[in-house]
Structure 1
Amino acid sequence: MSAHRYDVLGLGNAIVDVISRADDDFLIAQGLRKGGMTLIDEARAEQLFRAMGPATIISGGSAANTIIGLASLGGKGAFIGKVKADELGALFAHDIRAAKVGFSTPAATDGTASARCLIVVTPDGQRTMSTFLGACQDLTEADVDEALVSQSAVTYLEGYLWDPAAAKAAFIKASKIARAAGREVALSLSDSFCVDRYRDEFLGLIRAGAVQIIFANESELHSLYQTSDFDTALAQLKRENILGVVTRSEQGCVVVKGEEALTAPAFPVEEVVDTTGAGDLFAAGFLAGYTKGRDLGACARLGALAAAEIIQHIGARPQKDLRQLAEQNGLGVGLN
C-alpha cells in the first residue's frame, strides 16, 4: 500500500459498555432477545440499568474496539465518533486516547447524552446487548476530516452506524474521499438484524465499489443473501469479487477473494467467558496484518489470536499486549 499516516481509520458509534452477568431467566423477564442487539431509548436504558446486577463500565463501540485492538498489535489507528461533553463522553475520549489512537471528533455540547450499551452476559458466554445511541446519532458529514481519511490505508465502518441518517451520510462522504485517494474501505456487517434492516443498501455499497472488504459472521452472511445454507451464501459472496472475511466461532474463519477461498482455524482457548467484541478484535488482527502486507492466511491467524484473547475475559478491550502475544505465537513479524 502507498505511504499513509494511519493504517486504519474507524468510523463508528462512540459507546460506553455497561456489562453485567445474569442467567437466561433475567433475559426472559426483561424481554431481551438472547445474543442480539436491540436499540433502546434513554428511559429504557435507565430502567434496564436499574434491573441489572453489579456492572463493569468499559469504553466500547464496535469500530472503536477494532481500532484499539489494532493499536495493541502495533498498528496506527484513528477513530471518528460522536460523544457529548458529559461524564461518559469524557471517559470514552480518555480511554481511546490512552490507547494511542487518534481521536479528535469535537464533543457535542447539547442534545442527548453520550451513548451506552447495556450488555448482559449469560453463563455460556453469550452477550445480549441493548443500545442507547444518544449522541452517536449526531455524527454528521462535518465530523469527517478529509485529510484524516485520505491519510488512512483503510477506512473501516461498523454496520451499526447505518441506523442514523446523518451518520450514514458521513460514511458515504468518507467512502468517496477514501476511494478518490486510492484507499480501501471496509464494512463490518455488525449484526444479522442490522443486515435485515439494510440488506439492499449494504449490497448496493458492495456492488457500486464503495466497499472493498467485508467482515461478517455466519448469521450475518446468511442474512445478507437470505439463505440458511452456508455454502450457498459463500458462493454468492465470491461472486461479489471483493475481499470477504467470514468468522465461524469455534470453526475458525473463511477468507474469500474472488473465486479463491482459504480457511483458518480458531485459536484454542481455555474458557469462553464473554464473547463481547470477538468479531471486533478478529477484524483488528486481520487488518493489522493486512495493512502490513501479510498474506491472507497470516491475517486470519492474527484475527483468530486477537479474538481468542478477548473472549477469555469480560469486556471488549484487550487485557494483554496483543503485539507481545503475536510474537509469542510466531505471528509478530512486521507488526510495528
Structure 2
Amino acid sequence: MAVTPAWPRPAGRGPVVALGKLVADQVLELSGPLVVGGQQRVVRGTTAGGAPANGTATLARLGVPARLAGWAGADPVADGLLAALGARGVETSVVRRGRTPLSTVLVHPDGERTLLTDRGEGALEPADVRPGWLAGAAVVHLDGYDLLRFPDAVRTAADLAHDAGVPVSVDAAAATRMGSGYVELLAGLRPDVLFCNAAEASVLALDGGLPAWAPDLVLVHAGARPTRVLTRAGAVEVPVAPLPSVRDTTGCGDAFAAGVLAGWRAGAPVLDAVRSGHAAAAVVAGVVGAQPPP
C-alpha cells in the first residue's frame, strides 16, 4: 500500500519563526582550485548568514511572514545585517551583545563550498528567550547547530512553543558535529518535523524505520538525489528536478526547509511542500551565497 505522509498537526497562520544566532557570511568565489601556498583572484560579498537568516530570507521571498528571533552581535556588522533582513521584509526580534559570528565561505568552481567559522563573542541564554518571540507563530523552526552551542536556550524555546500549541521543526547539525548525547538533545526538543541530509540521517540511525525518539515525519534531502520522506508507516521518495546550473550549494538545505515550512503553513500536502522546498533550494543553488535574490 502506498504511503501518504501527513503533517503531525496543522501549522498556524502567523509568521514562521526561526530562532538562533545571526551570522555574517563573507563569501569568496574562487576562480580555480584552491592551492596551498598559492594565490588567486576571488569575488567577495558579505550577507546575513546562518540557518535562521537564510531560512527567513527565503520565506520572505515566497511571501510568507517570517520572524528571526535570537541573538545578534552588538556591533556595526550586525547593524548592517539586521537592516538588510528588514529590507527583505523579515521581522527581527533579537538580543544584542558581543561580536557577530563570521563564516568565511569558499565557493569552489564546481559549486561545492568550504566553511571557515569564527564563533564570535556572545551567546543566547535561556532567560533571553521571550514568549513574545513565538507569539502567534505558525511554526517555530530551530537550528541543530545552535542546539549544540546554546542547548538550554533552544530547549527553552521549544518548551515555550509546545506550551503555546505551536508546532516545532528542527534542522539537524552537520554529521561531523553530532557527538555523544546529540540524539538526546534532539529528542528533548520534541520536534514535530525533523530535517536532515543523508549523512546526518545515517549518523542518527534514520536509514531504516524511525526510532522511538524521532518525530513522526522526517525529511532527508540529498542534493540532486530524491528526498526521502520518512513516516511510521514507511517511506516515500520525491525526485528532484534537474537544475540547469549550480553556482553554489551554500544555504540550499536552509532554503529547502523554508519552502517546506511555507507549504506546511499553507496547508499543502506534505509531498507538494517537499516539491516547494526543492524549488526554493534551486533558486539558491543558482546564485553565489546562501540567500535568494531579494
TM-score, length-scaled by structure 2 = 0.88
CA distance in 1, matches of 2:69, 2:131: 12
Q: Which residue of 29, 44, 50 corresponds with 1:21?
A: 29
CA distance in 1, matches of 2:11, 2:293: 32
Letter in 2 for 1:289: G
Letter in 2 for 1:168: P
Is structure 2 residue 87 aligned with structure 1 residue 98? yes
Give the strand-richer structure, 1 or 2.
2
Post-superposition CA distance 1:58-102 (Å, at most 9, x none): 111112211211121111111113222222111111111112111
CA distance in 1, matches of 2:290, 2:111: 13
Query: For 2:85, what is the secondary structure of its paired residue?
Result: helix
CA distance in 2, matches of 1:60, 1:188: 15
* Paired position in structure 1 for 2:74: 85
Q: Is the 8 A contact 2:170 2:191 kept in 1?
A: yes
Paired residues, number: 284
* Paired position in structure 2 for 1:190: 173
Identity %: 27
* Paired position in structure 2 for 1:130: 116
Q: What is the Cα deviation at residue 238 of structure 1?
A: 8.6
CA distance in 2, matches of 1:292, 1:84: 33
Q: What is the Cα deviation at residue 241 of structure 1?
A: 4.7
Letter in 1 for 2:88: A
Is structure 2 residue 127 aligned with structure 1 residue 142? yes
* Paired position in structure 1 for 2:105: 119
* Paired position in structure 2 for 1:325: none
Query: For 2:96, what is the secondary structure of its paired residue?
Result: coil
Q: Is the 8 A contact 1:16 1:117 kept in 2?
A: yes
Q: How does 1:189-228 map to 2 (within 5 A)?
A: 189-196=172-179, 198-205=181-188, 210-225=190-205
Is structure 2 residue 260 aligned with structure 1 residue 286? yes
Q: Is the 8 A contact 1:69 1:317 kept in 2?
A: yes
Post-superposition CA distance 1:218-244 (Å, at most 9, x none): 01111122xxxxxx7142459835210
Query: For 1:172, what is the secondary structure of its paired residue?
Result: helix
* Paired position in structure 2 for 1:159: 144
Q: Alpha carbon RMSD of aligned pairs, Å? A: 2.4
Q: Which residue of 262, 287, 291 corresponds with 1:313?
A: 287
Change (3 A) 1:117 1:71: same
CA distance in 2, matches of 1:99, 1:19: 19
* Paired position in structure 1 for 2:14: 5
CA distance in 2, matches of 1:203, 1:175: 11
CA distance in 2, matches of 1:235, 1:29: 47
CA distance in 2, matches of 1:197, 1:98: 41
CA distance in 2, matches of 1:2, 1:20: 38
Letter in 2 for 1:179: H
Q: Is the 8 A contact 2:138 2:167 kept in 1?
A: yes
CA distance in 2, matches of 1:52, 1:216: 34
Q: What is the Cα deviation at residue 54 of structure 1?
A: 4.1
CA distance in 1, matches of 2:249, 2:207: 24
Query: For 1:233, what is the secondary structure of its paired residue?
Result: coil
CA distance in 1, matches of 2:179, 2:241: 30
CA distance in 1, matches of 2:249, 2:192: 27
Letter in 2 for 1:221: A
* Paired position in structure 2 for 1:60: 49
Query: For 2:105, what is the secondary structure of its paired residue?
Result: strand
Q: Is the 8 A contact 1:125 1:272 kept in 2?
A: yes
Q: What is the Cα deviation at residue 267 of structure 1?
A: 2.7
Q: What is the Cα deviation at residue 183 of structure 1?
A: 1.4
CA distance in 1, matches of 2:179, 2:41: 29
* Paired position in structure 2 for 1:42: none
Change (3 A) 1:211 1:69: same
Query: For 2:138, what is the secondary structure of its paired residue?
Result: strand
Query: For 2:26, what is the secondary structure of its paired residue?
Result: strand
Q: Is the 8 A contact 2:12 2:139 kept in 1?
A: no
Letter in 2 for 1:102: E
Query: For 1:288, what is the secondary structure of its paired residue?
Result: helix
CA distance in 1, matches of 2:137, 2:278: 24
Stretches of structure 2 that go unaligned for 5 or more consecutive residues are 1-9
Query: For 1:119, what is the secondary structure of its paired residue?
Result: strand
Is structure 2 residue 249 aligned with structure 1 residue 275? yes
TM-score, length-scaled by structure 1 = 0.78
